[in-house]
Structure 1
Amino acid sequence: MAEPKPGDGVTKAAKARLALLWTVLPKIPSVIRVVLLHVLKMSEPSRYLDLRENVIVSFLRSLLDQPNPQPISKTQRMTLRDPGIKGRIWISKVSSQVPPEESIRDVLLAAIDSSKGQFVAADGICRVPDIVPVEAEWTGYRAHASPSSELPAIPEQQKYGEMMKECSSDVTILYFHGGAYYLMDPASHRPTTKRLAKLTGGRVYSVRYRLAPQDPFPSALLDAFVSYMTLLYPPLEQSTRPSMPPIPAGGNLSLALLQTVLEIRRRGLKVTWFGHEREVHLPAAVAANSPWLDIVQSMPSWTTNQKWDYLPRPRDLADIKQPKDAIWPAKPPRKHLFIDDDFLLHPLACLQLNASWERAPPIYVCCGWECLADEDKWFVSKLVKDGVAVVFEEYEAMPHVFAAILEKAPQSTRCFDGWAKFISQACGSPQEIRSSFTTIKAKTMKEVDINVKNLSPFTEEDLRRFAFDRVGRKSSFPNTPAKL
């Protein structure tokens, strides 16, 4: 192996800075325009956001809405870089064991088959993913460290033990990072998991599930299910088992896991897990932050809320123009990065199409005035109709997952506090959780009650029509005409 040449590190750093410069330079005119409109109070966002927030959202929007996108593999690779572990955080890296039985996959596939209804053609065949070890990071708050502290050079199990010494509650959060199923990693979400651990006094199990397009649906869902069972019934390390079922948190995957568990329980199924037949218990609660439910991006807010968000405008599913690389287009070809065409509207992917959430545990949902607002508000109204306790918080004028993007905004502090408060209460006294629906005003932070009856104007027929129209299919449901 060749020895590194002097200056190699500097050269790489210089190249990275140059690449960043070339990314930023073309955006300067649009940033200047945003600043001028904001200062002159001539833009609607300037009425709700401060200048810094407005510039960040606008810059992200211009960065993500590229007319000539780069290859999927390059974008994915950039988001998987590990920045290293420093500061007031414990990280203990682990990997689940593969059970000797295939029962967990068989039960998942049975749940997928029994819940597909009329959303999947009768001859549609679901992929059968391998059962693999699923990596994760135990995360805890390291109170006595400094911002520059590194983790001690001790075995991972010892790191876990040191982390547990600092936990002051029984909270266990099963965290699934965002990234539209093809980006990001537990490493990119450490600021969020550390903050949740600090605020709850508990621990976070952050899962490195398989990503699309290499591993499409239902690979991530199987990894989530394996991780959930690993916490419920640890094969060897019984000390890692939570005192009560963990609380899935994140977005689509946390709710897909919940709906999977509900379907398994509806059918009375059990999982053979390391030699024992195990019941699949419901989680203690689910805490979803800006959850993506409508994966085909069919609801109106994906267009009408563009001025408040940085997410790019939906593209026609038949016209995804990504540069070719080793992982895209998929083989055989499909329209969506995450899922095969036949399963685009499966209710375990397009979660807004589920017929029922009855008997679900308490659920927390927050969102802003983002592109996902319609689906999130519909979901909350559906939970209420199904008799589920739900805490909903809407943040005026905020973009998608704003608490992670606008870390210094007071709304972000309020969001983390509300998120963590719900999780702690769900672990301590879930019976005391009462449904609430609140708007948090942008500049005053005033909290205003929402009439849940007026939360969503859409019917279930509307949602089916939106979704079927979006994928160019004719609905097989009565009274739901779709475009041909």
Structure 2
Amino acid sequence: MADPAHPRPKAGDKRASSPRSPRRNSIIDDITSGTQVGGSPNPLSPQPPPNDAPRNRPAAAMDWSQPLPIIKALAPKVPMIGKTALMHSLGLSETSKYWDLRTAVTINVIRSFVFTPEPTSVGKSQHLSLRDPGVKGKVWIANVSLPFTPDDDDVRQTIFGAIDHLAGAPQGDLYTAPELVEITAEWTGYRAGATSSTPPLDASDADKYAAMMKEVVSPTTVLYLHGGAYYLMDPATHRPTTARLAKHTTGRVLSIRYRLAPQHPFPAPLIDALVAYLTLLYPPPGALHTAVAPEHIVLSGDSAGGNLATSLLLLLLTLQRQSRTVLWGGLPRSVPLPAGTALVSPWMDITGSSPSCADYAHFDYLPGRTAYPNGMEYAPDAIWPVTPARTALHVDDALLLHPLVSPLAAKGELWTGAPPVWMVTGWELLSDEDRAVAGRMANAGVKVRYMEFEAMPHCFAMVVEGSAVARKCIREWAGWMKKVVEAPGSVGEGGTVVGFKKLEERGVDVRGLDEGWEVTMGRMKERFRKNEERKEAMAKL
């Protein structure tokens, strides 16, 4: 689509080079901070066999205070780092007019771990991504379970019905209906009196929660859905982010451990997200929290978590239109809308049909479509590939164009009546789909606050952590969530493009960002058709 904020790279422009036959590996922690980002397990840790058991707690982490693993991993990268620094300093790289040296080195180091000579198995990547870095410093963490009763099976039926309703036909034969399971989650709060090395309180989770609540000032309650391409990561890996959100909102965050693919494809994560939302509204006996008013809840997520938050919002809107109640805790419950939804680099199109999936590869660390014209490649293991075959890790192919899977496929009228939405993106692979959904929501009457940071990669606030752009993004993100709860009438709308070096802002018409449903659906259908052709060709081999 045309970009009103800045010109597209022209055909023939140079792109960041990659190996002749690149294959995607897991992305490492942010080199400068150790924070895991955007679906990035840590390849420097030992490599145990995959574990597809339900996640109750992430695995224990190695001691990252020891520099040896980092040195071993970065040593082979020294020539590349030197070349990056030289090209940047001489102004010879295509990103040098935007990025500072730290950003250039960070992104190129991460990118170098993305492309490896041999594919990595899904199970290995998943297992590594679930390692727990531990809890210390200015953060409260209280672990909780989200239980259910046999009567709560109506949650599943509600979602199955919404899938059929939005498709306009029964879809039950296109996917395996997941069971309702008990998942776990983390309550996160800011621990003001701690230092960066303060260990966690030696107490029960109930006592930790009580101590956390003594420091919570705002009623803002964030239901956080982590990123990781639906098959990686965990609330533990996103603690640095949720802790910052808790600090800047002066509220609390519930970060849930939803089920991961490929073991638990769609709609399992959506079921888990709805269970978490209902648990906030109608806590079961023994819950640490009291009932949270819907006007105090903000849905939020990054990357795949942004997809899940958007899908949950669409589900709630659908239930509202149907006047559908859900049997929960033995009683029919209404399912009101939250105060708002805040999205960071949300994954809106699982087909990857947008032009930015190829055009913005030089700004992003994720592999562009030109690097993988036939889709991602993974080494086979116990959990992937699956039977029957599918191209996407987390959803059956027949549902790729469903609005609850790819929100870009949702028509504008489906967003009518939604509470305010805040969305941030960079100049990344997902930029076009994010712009289109923001524009479509705005054209449907939704109060949308859209921010685009020039030249920034996917989930940049977690990648270039501590930089001016990252700090601004976190402040805007948390500030908006606090305002939409405490002073919803003052929440603004409109679009802004933020410059990298001086953080200068210029306006953009959000409503003009959407090319129209027919145009985007045409591209998605064409991409879907090519995926089907590839599947048929592979089946004949």
TM over 0.5: yes
Q: Distance in 2 between matches of 1:466 and 1:329?
A: 27
Aligned to 1:258: 313
Q: Distance in 2 between matches of 1:377 and 1:474?
A: 24
Structure 2 CA distance for aligned equivalents of residues 374 and 442 of structure 1: 19
Asked if the contact 1:317–1:335 (Cα under 8 Å) also holds between the matched residues in 2, the reply is no
RMSD: 2.1
**Superposed CA offset, 1:46-76 (max 9, x none):** 1111101011111111211334221111111
**Contact 2:449–2:495, Cα closer than 8 Å, also in 1:** yes
**Gapped runs of 5+ residues in structure 1?**
1-11, 476-484
CA contact (8 A) 1:170 1:243 kept: no
Q: How far is the alpha carbon of 1:21 from its aligned partner?
A: 5.5
- 1:224 matched to 2:273? The reply is yes
Q: Which amino acid aligns with 1:460?
A: W
Tell whether 2:457 aligns with 1:399.
Answer: yes
Aligned residue type for 1:115: L
Say if 1:13 and 1:290 are closer, same or farther in 2 by CA, change over 3 A.
closer
Q: Which amino acid aligns with 1:164?
A: M
Of 246, 249, 254 in structure 2, the residue corresponding to residue 205 of structure 1 is 254
**Amino acid in structure 2 at the alignment position of 1:225:** L
Aligned-partner Cα distance in 1 for 2:445–2:96 = 39
**What's the CA shift for 1:334?**
1.2
Between 1:411-420 and 1:32-41, the stretch displaced more is 32-41
From the superposition, tell whether residues 13 and 280 of structure 1 become closer, same or farther in structure 2 (CA, over 3 Å): closer
* 1:362 counterpart residue number: 420
Does the alignment pair 1:106 with 2:153? Answer: no
Report 1:52-71 matches (<5 A). 52-71=102-121
Report the CA distance between 1:99 and its aligned residue: 2.5
Q: What is the aligned partner in structure 1 of residue 6 from structure 2? A: none
Q: Does 1:85 align with 2:142?
A: no
Name the SS for the 2:415 alignment partner: coil
Deviation at 1:18, TM superposition (A): 7.2
- Contact 2:137/2:196, CA 8 A, preserved across alignment: yes
Specify the alignment match of 1:462 in structure 2: 519
Whether 2:458 is the aligned partner of 1:408: answer no
Which letter does structure 2 place at the counterpart of 1:105? R
Aligned positions of 1:37-436 closer than 5 A? 37-101=87-151, 102-117=153-168, 124-236=173-285, 237=287, 239-245=289-295, 246-250=297-301, 251-314=306-369, 320-355=376-411, 356-436=414-494
Letter matched to residue 323 of structure 1: A
Give the aligned residue type for 2:393: L
Contact kept, 8 Å, 1:92 with 1:139, in 2: the verdict is yes
User: Which secondary structure does the structure 1 equivalent of 2:450 belong to?
Assistant: strand
Kept in 1: contact 2:140–2:188 (CA 8 A): yes
CA distance in 1, matches of 2:463, 2:457: 9
Q: Give the partner amino acid of 1:271.
A: V
Size of the alignment, in residue pairs?
A: 460
For 1:146, give the aligned amino acid. Answer: T
Q: Residue in 2 aligned with 1:479?
A: none
> Is the Cα–Cα contact under 8 Å of residues 494 and 509 in structure 2 kept in the other structure?
no
CA contact (8 A) 2:206 2:288 kept: no
Q: Deviations over 1:392-439 (max 9, x none)?
A: 111111111111111121011110111111101111121222212111
Match of 1:478 in 2: none
Query: In 2, are the aligned partners of 1:317 and 1:471 still within 8 Å (CA)?
Result: no
Aligned counterparts of 1:464 and 1:181: Cα–Cα separation in 2: 23
- Cα distance in 2, alignment partners of residues 352 and 51 from structure 1: 35
3-state SS of the aligned residue for 2:362? helix
Compared CA separation, residues 292 and 388, structure 1 to 2 (3 A): same
TM-score (norm 1): 0.91
TM-score by length of 2: 0.81
- Deviation string, structure 1 residues 208-253 (Cα, Å, up to 9, x no partner): 0000011111111100010000001101238432244411101111
Tell me the distance in 2 between the aligned counterparts of 1:298 and 1:30.
Answer: 31
Q: 1:21 and 1:328 mapped to 2: Cα distance?
A: 32
